[in-house]
Copies of this chain bind each other. A is one copy, B any other.
Amino acid sequence: MMTNPTISLIERRVSANLFDASHNLADAEIEELVRLATRAPTAYNLQNWRFIAVRTAEAKTRLRALAWNQPKVEDAAVTFIICGVHPDAETLPERLQPSVAAGYMPADMPSAWREAAGAQYADPQTARDEAVRSATLGAATLIYAAEALGFASCPMVGFEAEGVARAFGLGANDVPVLLVAVGRAAPGNWPQKPRRPLAEVLEIL
């Protein structure tokens, strides 16, 4: 029986804690990872995200101090600050215009979606949820892209969000949702942690 490479990848991926500090990534490799990450879906195709690739020694030192002093922030080739942005419905006409130009999206749809999104995200909690959701969809896609390209990765939530926002010039509507370290694994990482039994988490109706 053929093994499906993407299924194997999902099954084998682990969050690495130890990275080879001598390994670097070129700009083109960082760009390729983010190009792939942005293939992730977002509501209304909002693409309400920002990716900050922290890879110089100076920037890593600044970020590590705001991330519980975790060594992997500096040891990994790059640590991404992945931000979601509170949705701004006014951006939709521009972001959907290429779909209209390509001929499949009706010309009046972007303004209809702008109206729907404007109503949906008027509630600040709903807007924040969408920022967290979009950034996480991008982060997950970046993690699988990194694994496919032979890199190890680690998502991190242990950081001071307000400090990161100040130190890296985030806007008022930018939410730093996850850090994702990407690089070459060093020896000594743990195996994948066991998961809960399916019966505890799945209900079929």
Q: Which residues of A are in contact with B by a Cβ distance under 8 Å?
A: 4-7, 9-11, 13, 15, 27, 30-31, 34-36, 38-41, 43, 45, 47, 49-56, 59, 95-96, 98-99, 102, 104-105, 120, 125, 128-130, 132-133, 136-137, 139-141, 143-145, 147-149, 155, 157-158, 168, 177-178, 190-196, 198, 201-205
B148 in contact with A6 (CB, 8 Å): yes
Q: Shortest Cβ distance from A190 into chain B, in angstroms?
A: 5
B204 in contact with A53 (CB, 8 Å): yes
Q: Which residues of B contact A128 (CB under 8 A)?
A: 125, 129
A194 in contact with B141 (CB, 8 Å): no
| Bound Cα distance A196, B41 (Å) | 13
B15 in contact with A41 (CB, 8 Å): yes
A177 in contact with B39 (CB, 8 Å): no
Q: Which residues of B contact A155 (CB under 8 A)?
A: 41, 137
The copy count of this chain in the complex is 2
A205 in contact with B56 (CB, 8 Å): yes
Q: Shortest Cβ distance from A73 into chain B, in angstroms?
A: 13
Q: Shortest Cβ distance from A93 into chain B, in angstroms?
A: 13
Sample of 20 more A-B contacts, CB < 8 Å, known A5-B6, A53-B204, A140-B141: A4-B148, A6-B9, A7-B145, A10-B141, A10-B144, A15-B41, A27-B204, A31-B198, A34-B198, A34-B201, A35-B198, A39-B195, A40-B140, A47-B196, A49-B201, A51-B203, A102-B191, A132-B132, A132-B136, A137-B155
Partner of A204, one of B55, B104, B145, B196: B55
B38 in contact with A196 (CB, 8 Å): yes
